[in-house]
Structure 1
Amino acid sequence: MNVLITGSNGLLGQHLIPLFLQDKQFNVIATGRGPNRIPERDNYIYEAANLRTPGAAANLIDKYKPEIIIHCAAMTQVDECEKNKDACWDMNVGVTRYLVQAAEKVNAYFLFISTDFVFDGLKGPYTEEDLVNPINYYGTSKVAAERIVHNSKLTWAIARTVLVYGVATDAQRSNMITWVKNNLQQQKKIKVVDDQFRTPTLCQDLAIGCKLIVDKKATGIFNISGNETLSPYDMAIKTADYFNLDTNFIEKISSKSLSQPAARPAKTGLVTEKAEKELGYNPHTFAEGLEIVAGELNR
C-alpha cells in the first residue's frame, strides 16, 4: 500500500517515515522541498517537489497512485504568514487544493494536519466540535484548507495539533524545547510569555496519532496533542529544570509587550478525549516528553 507523506523534511515528516517503514504493509513515498534531509535513506522513495507549482502534485500522485496521503507540508511561521499572505495562502491553501484534486482521481484516503490556531483562544481547551474563529492569517489559511478537505469527494481525516516539539535532523527551525535549552546553555537571557496557554505536543505522539488514524481509516476531525495545559513560561522553566540550567536567565513577560505581526490566541489547547477513546491515543506527559527529547539529543 503506497503512502505519500508531504513535508517529509519537517519535524513531523521525519518521525512519520520510520513509523510507517516499521509497518511492512506500507510503501513510503516522501516529498519535500530540496534534497532529502533525513539520514535514513533506505527502503523508501524520496521525490523533491515544489508542490506550489501547478501540476507538481498531480504528477506525483499520478506517478505513484498512493492509497493514502498524509499532508504535513505547510507554512507554519505565524508572523511570516501575516507578513507574506500570498505565500501563506499559496502554500497552505493552494497546495492542499492541488493535492485534493489529484487525490480524487485515484480515490486516496487523505489525512490533513491542522492546528489549534483555527480557534480564537477565548475558551480553550477545545474539542473537535467547537466552532473555528481564527485571529491571524495562518489560522485563516488552515481553516480554508480544512474546508477544501471537508468538502472533497475523498475519505478524509483532519488531525489538529498544538505547539509541536521534538528533535529533527538538520532542522531549519528550532522549537520551544531546543530554543530554551540552547539559549540557556549559552547563558543568554530569554523572554517568555506567561499569559498564553497550550497543550504542547511531543512529535512522536503526533506521528503515532497520525498512524492510528490511518490504520483505522478513521474519518472526521481528531485532536492529537498533549493533554497538559501549560504556558510557554511553564514549559521554559520545566525545560531548564530538567537540563539543570539557570532559570534566572528566563524573564517572564506579557504577550502585550511583544510587537508581533500576528495576533496569538490566549488560551487554546485541545481536548484529546475523542482520540483516546476512538483511536487508543495515549500522549506522553510533558515531563516524559522532555526525557525523550533529551535521549534523542544525546545520540
Structure 2
Amino acid sequence: MIWKKHFFKETCCRCVASDTETQNEVLEKRGKLKKRRKKNENKRVIVSNLSFGCTKWKENPNRYYDSNEIKTTKYSILTFFPKNLYEQLHRFANIYFVVIALLNFVPVVNAFQPEVSLIPICVIMAMTAIKDAWEDCRRYKLDREINHMGCYVYSRKDRAYVEKCWKDVRVGDFVQLRCNETIPADILLLYSSDQNGICHLETANLDGETNLKQRRVVRGFSRQNTSFEPEFFQNTIICEMPNNDLNKFKGYMEQSNHERIGFNIESLLLRGCTIRNTEVAIGIVIYA
C-alpha cells in the first residue's frame, strides 16, 4: 500500500509539472505572437502594382492604403447648413445673443418686440455662414486644381509611362519625374539619370529652404547602365507607417532570394518638393 501511494504521488506530480510546462509554452507563444502582431502593425508592406491587373486587384495588398486625392473642404451641399449652424452655436457670443432673443418672447421679461431681437443675431450668423461658404469654395477649387495636376505613371498595358492625374496615383505605382516637376506623392527613389545615382531636390514648399538637397538611389539600384524597367521589379518593400516627422524614415527591401537592402530618408522623395538639376528620376510610391 505504501508503494502504491508513492507511485500515485509521483505520477500526479509529473502530470502537474507537464501541465504547467505546456501552459508556460502556450503563454510564451501567445506573447511572441502578440509582439509580432505589434511589430507588423507598425510596418507597411508594399509591392508593385504591375503584378496585379484589373482582374487581380482584390488580391493586391496595396488596395487597403489611402488614395492620393486630397480633400481639405469642411462642408458639402447637403451638410453645409446643419454643420455650420452647429459650429456657430458653439460660440459663446452667439449663444448669448440667442438666449437674449428667446427671452424677449416671454411676456414677463421682454423689453421690446420679439421679432426685432432676432434681427442682429440672424444677420451676424448669415454673414458668418456666407464667409465660411466662400472660404470652403476656395478650398474646393484649390483641391481640384492639385488633384488634376498631371504626372507620368507606368502602365503595364501600354508598356510605357502614361499621364495621369495626381488623384489617380496609388501606392505601388512607378512614377517618372523630370527636371522642374513637382513630386505628386512620397516616392522611394530607384533610378536617377545622374551617374552617381543622385537626385537634387528643392524643399522650399515644405520647410522654406531654397538650398538644394541630395537624395540617393537605393543601394543596389544605383549602378545601372540601362534605364530602369519597372516590370522586372519583384521586391517587397517594408517600411514604417506614415508619421509627421519629415526627417525620419527607415525601412528595407526584401529581394526574391530573401536578401534585405536597407534605406532611409536619403532615398525618399517627399510630396510637394521639386526636382532640380536631374533629367529623369523614377521611383515607387510609398505614401499617398
Q: TM-score, normalised by structure 1?
A: 0.22
Q: Which has the higher contact order (CA 8 A, sep 6+)?
A: 2
Output the TM-score relative to the length of structure 2: 0.22
